[in-house]
């Protein structure tokens, strides 16, 4: 499991090069004033992450606090529907309802070992903010979460959760008052507090070493899948692994330990929103071009003169105008296939899973489920779907869809 060889030139799928590049994507495009913070992290993260005492505490919290290992569930009725074999990796059963807690635990433990007393984060839908505030409460650390004013209005239950957990939620009031403005505020905070503060980024995005660090914290997902599949089928390699991609952290975690097994087909599913060419989409590989967003070079949805295009998805977690650099590389190299699902298709897949298996998925995860019908599954195929989160948070959208279909 321990792989700290990052000194290769081009980087591999599992390890970017020393500058943080996966192929043509990655790096650290940051203001001069952030160099010290990011350098400190880059110099220390691998050493700290793979220390025995760190791993011991990390594994303990994943097990006793987050509830890992999450089950690998044979979805029998869903399998019948597709005349194939489908397993669900139940990240929805984690504490706080999604995979984000894996990374939040990892980064907060790392921050403590770096001697940091103050944790900052940015959040769009609030899910990453809740996961971070949760682990800060557990560890008694100060937590400040930046959130766009518009997002705070849209996601009031998550704002309340963070406040109940003891975090200070600071509204970002500039620009469109959404995620990118919250990110700017968090960066400004980090520049002003360079010694005592760690910035917890919630996906495989941001300047190097964040994408690599977050992918490694999330890689527990595929580590478990291999063991569980071996136990259930006698073979640790599935034919297909499918995951939704916002920034790409649950997909990176679900893919990580299969990246070098070329017989395993990887499917990343983006949010097409109202349709790829509707002007209301978040399908970055289809609509994006190389550019710099939030500190790394990747594929970015932008206008001809480089202005970020506002994305749209029914699921707040996929409503992001970029993808992590690993995914840009997986796309460009062809190692993963990129599919997309519209808002409507995701809703349909969510209702389908709920009726067949008694599991209400997060709208994000429903995008991954929706891609099954595009995959031409064979009877002898084994497919893993990463069920990144549970659907409680999406009940309002589901209620609206039910009213629609009954009227
Ligand atoms: C945040 C979130 C996502 C999207 O983030 P990734 O980094 O792409 O995984 C997907 N599913 C759920 C349930 C989420 O909360």
Say how far apart CA 8 and CA 192 lie, in whole Å: 34
Contacts 24+ apart (CB under 8 A), 53-62: 54/109, 54/110, 54/113, 57/109, 58/105, 58/106, 58/109, 61/105, 61/109, 61/138, 62/102, 62/105, 62/220
Say how far apart CA 105 and CA 139 lie, in whole Å: 10
**Ligand 1 site, residue 96, Cβ cutoff 6 A:** no
Provide the pLDDT for residue 8. 53
Band (6; pLDDT cuts 50, 70, 90): very low
pLDDT digits (tens, 9 = 90+) for 11-31: 899 999 999 999 999 999 999
Active-site residue 388, yes or no?
yes
This prediction's pTM: 0.96
Active-site residue 153, yes or no?
no
Under 8 Å between Cβ of 123 and 143 = no
Provide the pLDDT for residue 2. 42
Pairing outcome for strands 197-200 and 118-123: parallel
Under 8 Å between Cβ of 54 and 350 = no
**Ligand 1 site, residue 91, Cβ cutoff 6 A:** no
Indicate if the pLDDT at residue 173 is higher than 60. yes
pLDDT digits (tens, 9 = 90+) for 361-397: 999 999 999 999 999 999 999 999 999 999 999 999 9
Say how far apart CA 171 and CA 192 lie, in whole Å: 18
Report the separation in Å between the CA atom of 362 and the middle of ligand 1, taken as the mean of its atom positions: 9
């Amino acid at each position: 499991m321990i792989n700290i060889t990052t000194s290769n030139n081009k980087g591999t799928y599992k390890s970017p090069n020393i500058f943080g590049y996966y192929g043509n994507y990655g790096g650290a495009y940051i203001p001069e004033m952030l160099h010290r913070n990011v350098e400190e992290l880059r110099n220390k993260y691998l050493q700290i992450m793979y220390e025995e005492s760190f791993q011991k505490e990390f594994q303990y919290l994943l097990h006793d606090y987050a509830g890992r290992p999450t089950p690998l569930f044979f979805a029998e009725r869903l399998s019948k529907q597709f005349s194939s074999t489908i397993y669900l990796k139940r990240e929805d059963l984690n504490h706080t309802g999604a995979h984000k807690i894996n990374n939040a635990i990892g980064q907060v433990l790392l921050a403590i070992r770096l001697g940091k007393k103050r944790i900052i984060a940015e959040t769009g839908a609030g899910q990453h903010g809740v996961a971070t505030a949760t682990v800060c409460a557990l560890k008694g650390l100060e937590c400040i979460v930046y959130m766009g004013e518009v997002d705070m209005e849209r996601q009031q239950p998550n704002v309340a959760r963070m406040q109940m957990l003891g975090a200070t939620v600071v509204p970002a009031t500039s620009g469109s008052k959404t995620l990118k403005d919250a990110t700017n505020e968090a960066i400004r905070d980090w520049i002003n507090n360079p010694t005592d503060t760690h910035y917890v980024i919630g996906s495989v995005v941001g300047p190097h070493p964040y994408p690599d660090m977050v992918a490694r914290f999330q890689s527990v997902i595929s580590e478990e899948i291999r063991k569980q599949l071996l136990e259930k089928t006698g073979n640790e390699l599935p034919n297909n692994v499918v995951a939704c991609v916002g920034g790409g952290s649950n997909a990176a975690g679900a893919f990580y330990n299969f990246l070098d097994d070329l017989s395993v087909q990887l499917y990343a599913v983006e949010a097409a929103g109202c349709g790829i060419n509707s002007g209301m989409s978040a399908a970055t590989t289809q609509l994006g071009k190389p550019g710099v967003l939030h500190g790394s070079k990747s594929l970015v949805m932008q206008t001809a003169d480089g202005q970020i295009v506002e994305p749209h998805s029914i699921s707040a977690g996929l409503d992001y105008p970029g993808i992590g650099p690993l995914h840009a590389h997986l796309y460009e190299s062809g190692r993963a296939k990129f599919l997309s699902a519209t808002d409507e298709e995701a809703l349909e897949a969510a209702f389908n899973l709920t009726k067949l298996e008694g599991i209400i998925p997060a709208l994000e995860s429903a995008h991954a489920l929706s891609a099954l019908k595009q995959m031409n599954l064979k009877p002898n195929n084994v497919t893993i779907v990463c069920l990144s989160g549970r659907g409680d948070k999406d009940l309002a959208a589901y209620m609206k869809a039910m009213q629609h279909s009954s009227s």
